[in-house]
Amino acid sequence: MFSSQTRSDLIKRFQSESFDLLVIGGGITGAGIALDAASRGLKTALVEKHDFAFGTSSRSTKLIHGGLRYLKQLEFGLVREVGSERAVVHQLAPHLVLPEKMLLPLYEKRGFGSMLTSFGLKLYDWLAGVKPEDQRRMLTRKQTLKSEPLLQPSDIKGGAIYAEYRTDDARLTIEIIKTGFRNGSLPVNYCEVTDFIYEDQVVVGAKIRDVYNNKSFDIRAKAIVNAAGPWVDELREMDQSKKGKRLHLTKGVHIVLPREKLPVKQAIYFDVGDGRMIFAIPRDRITYVGTTDTNYNASKEQVYASKEDVDYLLDAVNKTFNGPTLTVNDIESSWAGLRPLIHEEGKSASELSRKDEIFESDSGLISIAGGKLTGYRKMAERVVDLVIDKYFQEAELKRCYTASIPLTNPGFSSYPEVEKFKQRFTPYLVHTYGSAAEQIVNKAQTKDLILAELDHCLDNEMVLSASDFFIRRTGSLFFNITRMTTGMESVLPVMKDRLGWDQTKMEEERQRLSDSIKLSRQFVG
């Protein structure tokens, strides 16, 4: 069980025990660190101020990718690391990290030339150790247009197909959180670090506000890691250690179109003509398109797409694909996330490196920022190596072995096994819940499927609000908004019952869901 009851039990333990490591932030970075640390033998707690994956880790392009464009920036080390990690993460969660062939159209008057692309993709495959059968294939103009008939043909001179992986970022994060829990870490959502506790100017703990119950408590740990993504600098400020390098936040927006409005046959990575590239990714009944990359200085708690963002994306789609001109009215939903990048003087948003960096303060606070979803495991390994080196050199701890800890229980040994499982259960259930799809379907014999899913998430995924369920556990807000609007009426009363809410709380939750829907379709500014 990993439920609201588990949460209360863990909070009691937080107050009475002390820990080797406290991780701040339940995005993919913090989740990865907690799993790595606990599996090596460190007594680890993790606190997240909203829900797990509330921040950037539910608002990415949802690709486990090598980052082709980093080749252009000559970041070979980064491409090698994240490129090789793709296959590892696929192996750890083959139901959730799915192979996805990407089409790269080449144009006469813009973007890369054929020779350079051919060489670049070869290098990309080589750096990442891609299997021969998955390596890049160059296409003629005719083959490119056959591969994607929706492409506006006038300027196309050819193309390439190369291998990437697609995921659901929030689901990947929750699976890593749960795997961490199975391996001994204690992760809790809706608990915010409001201050640090010091002894002799060394950080030895944190003051926590349980946002759900409006209570406060202290937690003590030998080592403290700040993995708060876009909020990393706020915690460094709290620690009075924000010196030298600082974060540079950029916003990235995706729009969601019904599949019939943009019926691309496969994932496409296309040149926009202004030096940027964007993705169009089909997924079940929708196609999503993104991303933008603009400097951001407003609220980190509420990040939404502006009119300018969606106009930019719609313009790119309308120029690239045939068919009726798409407008704002065709957009079903959207999301916007913040990249927690490291500031580099004189560089534009798109030019900033995506590499992660670790900062150590005089008080002992360790902060990590930058990076990618794809590289979460290696980032975690580096941070935990540092923690062990600083505080636990004498302890008998294992070396990092997260490359062999499956992210489901029971896990799938291979992708063909997932494909076989999909013959028994719908792709949605298998890709969302993995092997737990079977229990959910069994439960659905006596209730609606959505309520069987809710039961599963309440019991096993620490769901505390209807938004946790509809946005981050099932992805309904992004991928099936109708399911959210119709499912809300049956879900809310069950949550009220199971979580002991009063009527006012249930109405607040209903309002919050309606606001999320409205804000995902209302583009201002």
State in angstroms the smallest separation of the CB of 88 from ligand FAD: 13
State in angstroms the smallest separation of the CB of 12 from ligand FAD: 19
Closest of 191, 185, 198 to residue 361, by C-alpha? 198
Site for ligand FAD in 298-317 (CB under 6 A): none
Determine, following the binding rule CB under 6 A, whether residue 192 of this chain makes contact with ligand FAD: yes
Cα–Cα distances (Å) from 247 to 52, 213, 363, 370, in that order, read: 22, 32, 20, 8
Looking at the Cβ atoms of 209 and 456, the one nearer to ligand FAD is: 209
Q: Which residues have CB under 8 Å from 305's CB, separation 6+?
A: 253, 255, 334, 335, 336, 523
Looking at the Cβ atoms of 145 and 267, the one nearer to ligand FAD is: 267
Looking at the Cβ atoms of 108 and 218, the one nearer to ligand FAD is: 218
Angle at 348 between CA 116 and CA 345, to 5 degrees: 120
Determine, following the binding rule CB under 6 A, whether residue 193 of this chain makes contact with ligand FAD: yes
Contact of 368 with 245, CB cutoff 8 Å: no
C-alpha–C-alpha distance, residues 25 and 153, integer Å: 46
Supply the angle between the helices 481-499 and 503-519 in degrees, to the nearest 10. 160
Q: How many residues contact ligand FAD, by CB under 6 A?
A: 38
Looking at the Cβ atoms of 227 and 429, the one nearer to ligand FAD is: 227
Looking at the Cβ atoms of 164 and 453, the one nearer to ligand FAD is: 164
Tell the residue number behind the tokens 């486990």, with chain if given: 64
State in angstroms the smallest separation of the CB of 236 from ligand FAD: 11
Determine, following the binding rule CB under 6 A, whether residue 60 of this chain makes contact with ligand FAD: yes
Q: Which residues have CB under 8 Å from 85's CB, separation 6+?
A: 64, 374, 375, 377, 378
Determine, following the binding rule CB under 6 A, whether residue 55 of this chain makes contact with ligand FAD: yes
> Which of 27, 159, 180, 187 forms a contact with ligand FAD (CB under 6 A)?
27
State in angstroms the smallest separation of the CB of 441 from ligand FAD: 30
CB count, 10 Å around CB of 55? 28
Determine, following the binding rule CB under 6 A, whether residue 30 of this chain makes contact with ligand FAD: yes
Supply the angle between the helices 28-40 and 169-182 in degrees, to the nearest 10. 20
Determine, following the binding rule CB under 6 A, whether residue 227 of this chain makes contact with ligand FAD: yes
CB count, 10 Å around CB of 365? 23
Looking at the Cβ atoms of 260 and 308, the one nearer to ligand FAD is: 308
C-alpha–C-alpha distance, residues 492 and 483, integer Å: 13
State in angstroms the smallest separation of the CB of 7 from ligand FAD: 14
For residue 330 the two structure tokens come to 């065709």
> Which of 57, 320, 333, 465 forms a contact with ligand FAD (CB under 6 A)?
57
Stretch that binds ligand FAD, among 11-19, 50-58, 112-120, 216-224 (CB under 6 A): 50-58
Looking at the Cβ atoms of 34 and 138, the one nearer to ligand FAD is: 34
C-alpha–C-alpha distance, residues 405 and 66, integer Å: 22
Site string for ligand FAD, 246-265 (x = CB under 6 A): ------x-------------
> Which of 7, 40, 49, 136 forms a contact with ligand FAD (CB under 6 A)?
49
Determine, following the binding rule CB under 6 A, whether residue 464 of this chain makes contact with ligand FAD: no
Closest of 70, 89, 90, 98 to residue 31, by C-alpha? 89
> Which of 334, 374, 432, 460 forms a contact with ligand FAD (CB under 6 A)?
374
If you write DSSP's letter for every residue of 263-322 in order, what string do you get? Answer: --SSEEEEE-SSS-EEEEEEETTEEEEE---EE--S-SS----BHHHHHHHHHHHHHHB-
Determine, following the binding rule CB under 6 A, whether residue 25 of this chain makes contact with ligand FAD: yes
For residue 77 the two structure tokens come to 């080390």
Give me the residues that bind ligand FAD (CB under 6 A), please: 24-30, 47-50, 54-57, 60-63, 65, 192-193, 227-231, 235, 252, 291, 337-340, 371-374
